[in-house]
């Protein structure tokens, strides 16, 4: 699978509303983390450099996404249904957690 068709495939899976559209040359938010039942799902997400990741809070409690090493800006308090985007331009491993419920941890791996 070429990178382009792989990206389109990922986009189609996560954004059904765009299925009928032609794939854009540069993908915006193809990568999603759901915050559900006090977990980041998936807990470990691998993305290409330059990707934008969107976190969406599905819980009835607010959550905040905070980089463990201060490597990307913290989200505001996310109420139910709120989303937050961060773009990862440099390869590396980015550990993060919820600063209200610090037992919630996740990782973005940028390749």
Partner 1 sequence: MSDQDHDDTVAPARREFLECMAWAGAGALWLMKGGVANAITLPAGAKGGAAEAKDATFSFVQISDSHIGFHKAPNPDPVASLRETIAHINAQRQRPDFIVHTGDLTHLSRPEQFDTVAELLKEAKTGQVFFIPGEHDVIGDNGKAFFARFGGGVSGGGWHSFDHHGVHFVALINVLNLQAGGLGFLGSEQLAWLRQDLAGLSASTPIVVFAHMPMWSLYPAWGWGTQDSARALTLLRRFGSVTVLNGHIHQIQRKVEGQVTFYTARSTAYPQPAPGVGPAPGPLQSVPPGQLHRYLGSRDVRHVRGGEAIAVTDVALG
Q: Which is nearer to partner 1, 20 or 103 (CB)?
A: 103
**Judged by CB under 8 A, does residue 32 bind partner 1?**
no
* Shortest distance in whole angstroms from residue 51 CB to partner 1: 22
**Judged by CB under 8 A, does residue 28 bind partner 1?**
no
**What per-residue string of b and e applies to 73-107 under the rule 16 or more CB within 10 Å gives b?**
eebeebeeeeebebebeeeeebebbbeebeebebe
**Judged by CB under 8 A, does residue 92 bind partner 1?**
no
Q: Which is nearer to partner 1, 15 or 74 (CB)?
A: 74
CA geometry: angle 97, 99, 102, nearest 5 deg: 60
Q: Which is nearer to partner 1, 49 or 95 (CB)?
A: 95
In whole angstroms, how far apart are CA 72 and each of 38, 60, 77, 87?
Answer: 21, 25, 15, 8
Q: Which of 39, 48, 52, 72 binds partner 1 (CB under 8 A)?
A: 39
């Amino acid at each position: 699978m070429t990178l382009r068709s792989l990206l389109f495939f990922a986009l189609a899976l996560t954004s059904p509303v765009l299925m009928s559209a032609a794939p854009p040359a540069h993908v915006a938010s193809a990568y999603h983390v759901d915050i559900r039942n006090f977990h980041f799902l998936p807990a470990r997400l691998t993305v290409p450099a330059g990707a934008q990741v969107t976190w969406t809070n599905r819980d009835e409690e607010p959550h905040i996404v905070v980089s463990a090493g201060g490597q990307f800006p913290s989200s505001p308090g996310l109420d139910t249904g709120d989303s937050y985007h961060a773009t990862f331009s440099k390869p590396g491993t980015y550990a993060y957690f919820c600063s209200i419920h610090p037992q919630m941890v996740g990782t973005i791996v940028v390749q």
